[in-house]
Structure 1
Amino acid sequence: MYRKSKKGIHAVTGTVKNILDKNVSIREVVFIALVFLCLAPAVSPPVALLLGVVTAQVVGHPYIHLNHRASQFLLQLSVVGLGFGMHVNNALNAGKEGMLLTTGSIAGTLILGVVLYRILKIEKKTAFLISVGTAICGGSAIAAIAPVVQAGEKQMSVALGVVFILNSLALFLFPSIGHFFGLSQNDFGLWSAVAVHDTSSVVGVAAKYGMEALEVATTVKLARALWIVPVALMSSVMFRTGGGKVKIPYFIGLFVLAMLLNSYVPFIRNISPYILDISKSGLTLTLFLIGCGLTGKTVGQVGGRLFLMGCLLWIVISVFALWAVLSKNT
């Protein structure tokens, strides 16, 4: 018994020594310091994204192999936490208001994507993934549809690269455009949910504009993500693949559960503001990690015609959604 205990102590001691003896690089120190900086209230989501991009280009990401999984998990956790700041009735009203615009914009974007693919004469599967990412919910839609159309890793990476670059631009451009046109909180939330690709960027953009915009944008965007299912079925027919495994974002259900708890459980409403603050910090950190993933390799693999297609799709859907939002108020 004594020998076993002694062996256990030596094993623990050896593990601790290995950890302490490991050389920590300057790159790791800088990265960890920036992670803590992004948790500070003074750092906004767009600033965090910019810090991430600069880190990727200047310092380099010391844990790049873990970045995608970490950012995805943190994003999903943060979105669920945002549900604790929303009420079911407000969410239903926002969902109803955005339903027609969502349906029209998704159909229009996919049709325009086919037209541009033929005009620009670019690779079919990559073009389709860019169209789906623009139409529905960015990287999540691309990841879900890629196995259905049997897209390769390079095709998926290029599509994600296009969407990511445009997402980054949206974080800086959209709030200024919203203020220029005098959009209300509700209108901006609706517009950003339709026109910005990824859920993370939608939430980041809307959070900068205001709490009501955040509530509307998050609800409409997550409802929009459910379109992955019918689009996946359509994709399997178009590409004659016989279907494939579709990955539906499970955190949407948890987000709805969080809203229900916040709406109908008094005890939860007392702690909801704290959960909401933590979730906002988590989102800011998520955008920093996403920025860290924008390496020179990611940018370099995006071809000119594919990027042009992504830009045209994004501009058209953004202008159409803005016109629809402004028109309903006249």
Structure 2
Amino acid sequence: MTTVSQISTADEPAKAGSILPGLALTCAIALAAFGLHQLPGLGFLSPLILAIVLGMALHNTIGTPAAALSGVKFGLRRVLRAGIVLLGLQLTLSQVGEVGWSGAAVIVVTLVSTFGFTKWLGRIIGVDHKLAELIAAGTSICGASAVIATNTVTRARDEDVAYAVACVTVFGSLSMVLLPLAGDAFGLTPQAYGLWTGASIHEVAQVVAAAFQGGEAAGHIGTIAKLTRVLMLAPMVLALGYAATRRRKPDQAGGGSVPVPWFVFGFMAMVGVASTGMVPDAAMPGVVFTTQFLLAVALASMGLETDLRKLAAKGLRPALLGAAAWLFILVLALALILLTGAAG
């Protein structure tokens, strides 16, 4: 006679084996994205962006294999959370202190104001509130990483996530090209220019590319300012999880449950570990690569579930929202820096 425990034990290898085809596929896409990132002309696109583009291309041409579906969902959930947790190792509290109180105030005010403005405008022009929330998070915090982390509590459609990632990619890339020119036009000091890039550009890689065009000092301040924005990912996701619970009616599915993003606490714990100095400098390149790879796997998974026809059906209003949010964060951050004299 077969017992329940025997059945459970027998099923475990089957479940583990069922994710392997999809996990292998998403890992292969992530590796291909890293390879493409090294090619001339594609270096300005992060492997995360390239991974979701490759995944979408595969899904919308030959289709995602049925055998890969379990592994794809695993990538969207477990692998994503692992990547966000590891992201915390790239930031220390002492680094945050380098931007100073005035610089930190500029970053926080810009972030919160941009998020609120984007949500408000999305409601005014008729963009679905979940998609508006994802665009708001990606613009105000840290691009694609913030979009997919926020979606753990927003619970939007895959097409919404892909649209939001596309917005932060396009407008963040424009910032990367235009801000070095604008910095010269406004006569900003290297410190002020670096703070502007870090407080307003979407992706970490885009900030690094733009900030270092203003010199070593600008690049350093820009990177630290951007990582300070990344730190805000944790409280923002927790706040959105609480807000989602308040919005959900008691008779709705999951109405009595609180979507607690536990991985956020892991992220904060890793910031604490990094702040102790326990992580040797020699290990950081490996940490950065592993983090980026895990997030690329998650975005490859997202691409493998994204239908371009559904994406196109959303129209231009979300793109206009992304453009408005982009202009808002650029202008507000610059105005605050000039008015307060932050970063000299």
Fold match, TM over 0.5?
yes
Q: Which residue of 2 aligns with 1:312?
A: 324
Q: Which residue of 2 aligns with 1:97?
A: 102
- Kept in 1, the 8 Å contact 2:84–2:295? The answer is no
- Kept in 1, the 8 Å contact 2:76–2:299? The answer is no
Aligned pairs for 1:1-330 (under 5 A) are 35=34, 38=37, 46=44, 52=50, 56=54, 79=87, 82-83=90-91, 88-94=93-99, 96-146=101-151, 148-199=153-204, 201-202=206-207, 205-206=210-211, 210-223=219-232, 225-238=234-247, 240=249, 244-247=258-261, 248-249=263-264, 250-261=266-277, 272=281, 274-277=282-285, 297=308, 300=312, 303-329=315-341
TM-superposed CA distance for 1:319, in Å, is 0.8
TM-superposed CA distance for 1:308, in Å, is 0.3
Distance 2:28 2:141 in 1: 38
TM-superposed CA distance for 1:254, in Å, is 1.6
- Kept in 2, the 8 Å contact 1:202–1:217? The answer is yes
Distance 2:28 2:256 in 1: 49
Distance 2:49 2:142 in 1: 24
Deviations 1:127-155 (A, max 9, x none): 23323333334444444444545533443
SS at structure 2 position matched to 1:227:
helix
Change (3 A) 1:49 1:34: closer
Distance 2:42 2:86 in 1: 15
TM-superposed CA distance for 1:304, in Å, is 0.3
SS at structure 1 position matched to 2:232:
helix
SS at structure 2 position matched to 1:323:
helix
Identity %: 22
Distance 1:51 1:156 in 2: 12
SS at structure 2 position matched to 1:97:
helix
Change (3 A) 1:275 1:315: same
Q: Give the AA of the match of 2:276.
A: L
- Kept in 1, the 8 Å contact 2:138–2:146? The answer is yes
TM-score, scaled to structure 1: 0.62
Q: Give the AA of the match of 1:323.
A: A
Deviations 1:15-45 (A, max 9, x none): xxxxxxxxxxxxx9999688458569x9995
Change (3 A) 1:149 1:176: same
Change (3 A) 1:128 1:208: same
Q: Give the AA of the match of 1:221.
A: V
Distance 1:29 1:151 in 2: 26
Deviations 1:214-261 (A, max 9, x none): 233213432354222223323433455666424244334324422321
TM-superposed CA distance for 1:60, in Å, is 6.8
Change (3 A) 1:51 1:122: closer
Q: Answer with 1 or 2: which has the greater Rg.
A: 1
- Kept in 2, the 8 Å contact 1:52–1:287? The answer is no
User: Where do 5+ consecutive residues of structure 1 fail to align?
Assistant: 1-27, 263-267
- Kept in 2, the 8 Å contact 1:149–1:239? The answer is no
TM-superposed CA distance for 1:320, in Å, is 0.4
Distance 2:78 2:220 in 1: 26
User: Where do 5+ consecutive residues of structure 2 fail to align?
Assistant: 1-26, 250-254
Distance 2:207 2:295 in 1: 11
Q: Which residue of 2 aligns with 1:9?
A: none
- Kept in 2, the 8 Å contact 1:49–1:290? The answer is no
Q: Give the AA of the match of 1:101.
A: V
Distance 1:144 1:232 in 2: 11
- Kept in 2, the 8 Å contact 1:132–1:142? The answer is yes
TM-score, scaled to structure 2: 0.60
Higher mean displacement: 206-215 or 310-319: 206-215
